[in-house]
Amino acid sequence: MIGILVLGQKDVAEGLIRAVEHTLGTRPPAIVAVGIDYEETPEQIGERISKQLARADQGDGVLILADVFGTTHTNVACRMLKPGRVELVSGASLPMLLRTLTYRKLKMPELIDRTLTGGFNGIICATRAKRDSKPKRKARR
């Protein structure tokens, strides 16, 4: 099973995991959070990420789900990536995390595909979805 590390600003990471707990009724195994405080140095962030990567790894690698790409914490995490073993997907959301948890027994490349799909499919404009789901009327003659 692939471990999951959720990485985000302040309480974002732990908040996503708590939302999963609420949805599923339990905290899944091998999932950890790293919430970043603004005062932390890149070195401190790196130490915390490294420690949590070790906790999350069950032998099949770890997928990092980060909030925003290009931030200090994702840049630090990117230095720890090992293709096929430790990977990172940004834009973390609850639909993305739920999809990742559902398919975490797959191999890393397939899990990344499912994770991305979960994120994409979780983005919906409600008014457009409602409009697009209405049955089409037949034209009058």
pLDDT tens digit sequence for 53-66: 999 999 999 999 99
Convert the pLDDT of each residue in 94-117 to its tens digit: 999 999 999 999 999 999 999 999
Task: Look at 2-6, 94-98, 132-136 and tell me which has the smallest mean pLDDT.
Answer: 132-136
pTM: 0.90
Asked if residue 19 lies in contact with residue 77, where contact means CB atoms within 8 angstroms, the answer is no
Q: At what angle do helices 94-102 and 12-24 cross, to 10 degrees?
A: 60
Domains and CATH numbers, the chain: 3-130 (3.40.50.510)
